[in-house]
Amino acid sequence: MQYPLCDKFGFDGPGRRERLQMIGLESGDAALGRRLHEEVIAPNQLSIIEAFYRYLLDNARTLAFLDSDALIARLKHAQSDYLFTLGVDFEAIDYFEDRLRIGLAHARIGLPLSLYQCAYTHLQALILEHVPAALVREVDAHQALIRFVLRITALDISLATETYHQARLQGLEDHLHDLRTEHARLSREVRLDDLTRVAARGYVLSVLDQQLSRLQDHRGGLCLIMADLDNFKHANDTYGYVVGDHALREAAARIRGAVRDHDLVGRYGGEEFIVVLPDTTLEIARAVAERIRRRFAGGPLRVGEVSLPLTISLGYTQARAGEDVDALVARADEALYNAKREGRDRVICYDHAVGS
């Protein structure tokens, strides 16, 4: 027979003996267990269970967990089995395994531990109330039996509590894992543009703001490219938005393929893209921008059977110490406007002396 819960909680032979010693139970108490069954539980088992369930059904909080007659009948049957084994062979691994399962079951249905403990205290009192008068008159034997009932029920509560807390803790850990997974997913969604799957505008501008705040630490400077597909509106009007959306996704992929690993590509809006180039000189920024331009000039964008000979215009500039995001974007955007005005399919730097 397998004992997964005893294995998990370390209740091998020494582990069980340690717990019993903590509770105050000894091997000699087995005789008290037999007397408890013969003189208290066996003759009164049904009346104890009925009294216990009257108590539960009179309590609004426990009543919430007893929502059908069929469930109550099953629970009464389980309670009968429980009383039948209470304190019997309490040193055995089977006894420990069964009691550990009780806590696991309570955790699974969401029964608060406080309700379980209160209900168990009432069950404990019911058992003692059913001690026959003849046994009560045996003062020493009666006191010994009371101590045994208190200790054996303490053992059962301690074992059920063990698995209850572990199950709830595991549930919390699973919940936290789900929350972290969902948070990571939402974070990715916030960072990415829904259509093109490059960075979203807000995320790019946030990164750009951080880069500008640390500009003094960037020996190679910080450059920015603004890029816009040429004549994209005409293609959209001719072939429709479905083809246009596919073309934007293909355009984003081409831009990503032309930049370096540490560069950040984003969609600025419509058919306009933005590229952040950290630790970059104007000469390198020009080379990256030209590489992007050639990716489009070298062949049409293909969407199914449709071939779109779209080119791209790009403007770039280098950040200046102390300027904000709006100023930097405005200069790169002005360079892009100049590229459009001078015939499209070209790269222009804000500083025309460096541009091409």
Active site residues: 271
* Length of the chain counted residue by residue: 356
Angle at 174 between CA 172 and CA 178, to 5 degrees: 115
Which of helix, strand or coil describes residue 229? strand
> At a CB cut-off of 8 Å and minimum separation 6, what does 192 contact?
198, 199, 200, 203
CB 226 within 8 Å of CB 315: yes
Which of helix, strand or coil describes residue 140? helix
Q: What is the phi-psi region of residue 92: left when phi exceeds 0, alpha when psi lies from -120 to 50, beta otherwise?
A: beta
CB 14 within 8 Å of CB 22: no
Question: At residue 110, what is the residue type?
Answer: G
d(CA 252, CA 46): 75
Nearest in space to 255 (alpha carbons), one of 179, 213, 312: 312
Which of helix, strand or coil describes residue 59? coil
Q: Phi and psi (nearest 5°) for 105? A: -65, -40
d(CA 54, CA 70): 16
First to last CA, the chain: 81
CB 25 within 8 Å of CB 151: yes
